[in-house]
Amino acid sequence: MKTTQELIDLITLKKLEDNLFEGKSSFMGSPNVFGGQVVSQALHAAYQTVPSDRFCHSLHSYFILPGDLEQPIQYDVANLRDGGSFSTRVVTAKQNNVPIFVMASSFQLKQEGYEHQEKMPIVTPPEELMSWNDVAEQFGSVLPKSIMRFVSAERPLDFKPVEFVNPFEKKDYENFSNVWLTFNEVPDNLPLPIIHQLIAYSSDYNLLSTAIKPHA
């Protein structure tokens, strides 16, 4: 899987019946199903059950069990409420009828309101940084096999970390990461729900590596 369109095809689920969908998995460098894939597929399932004029503004994900790459995943959507402006859904992902993941999500009409955004940090531009692919090519001989397998896996997006951490140095680092990301060969004029699903997919990258930085 190299392109954004291939990722969209992966996220897009087969409808089995009302509020029940099924998806397949793709290898992303881990022996288990990639968490971002499950989040994005669950969001896709939820989007199929809400009015077309409502868009996801928040979601909360709970990973219960590791997913099996060889088994299909079924997504069962519970319609909790459709109010005047908001719709609430809970999606349960199952394999062999056993829950492996749960997501609660809320959708809202497009409405004007207050906006808040953090200022863009002053960081090195992506043109001056090495990507994961560059790291794999340059340092593959010294990286642990597990890290090498992950960074060199074929994927539809690439990352350029601003801060590089030496995994062999027993040192506590600051508890944040700045990372540029780009999707490969993005189709034109993607609808907002698809953009949300792509962002959901990418959201599970760089989390754990950031969380452990202060804990050598």
Residues 123 and 137: their CA atoms lie apart, in Å, by 24
Question: What is the third-level CATH fold of 126-211?
Answer: Thiol Ester Dehydrase; Chain A (3.10.129)
Q: What is the mean pLDDT of residues 191-212?
A: 94
**Is residue 78 within 8 Å of residue 89, measured between CB atoms?**
yes
Residue 152 confidence (pLDDT) above 80:
no
140-149 pLDDT, tens digit per residue, is: 666 777 777 7
Residue-wise over 179-191: b if at least 16 C-beta within 10 A, else e?
bbbebeebeeebe
Question: Which helix (H) or strand (E) covers residue 37, if one does?
Answer: helix 35-47
Residue 137 confidence (pLDDT) above 90:
no
Percentage of the chain modeled with pLDDT above 70: 98
Domain 4-109 matches domain 126-211 at the CATH topology level: yes
Lowest-confidence pick of 23-27, 103-107, 128-132, 193-197 = 128-132
For the domain 4-109, what is the CATH code? 3.10.129.10
pTM for the predicted model, two decimal places = 0.91
70-123 pLDDT, tens digit per residue, is: 999 999 999 999 999 999 999 999 999 999 999 999 999 999 989 999 999 999
57-70 pLDDT, tens digit per residue, is: 999 999 999 999 99
Q: What is the mean pLDDT of residues 176-181?
A: 93
pLDDT at residue 154, rounded to an integer: 84
pLDDT at residue 157, rounded to an integer: 93
Please give the DSSP secondary-structure letter assigned to residue 32. B
Could you tell me the residue ranges of all domains in the chain? 4-109, 126-211
pLDDT, the chain, mean:
92
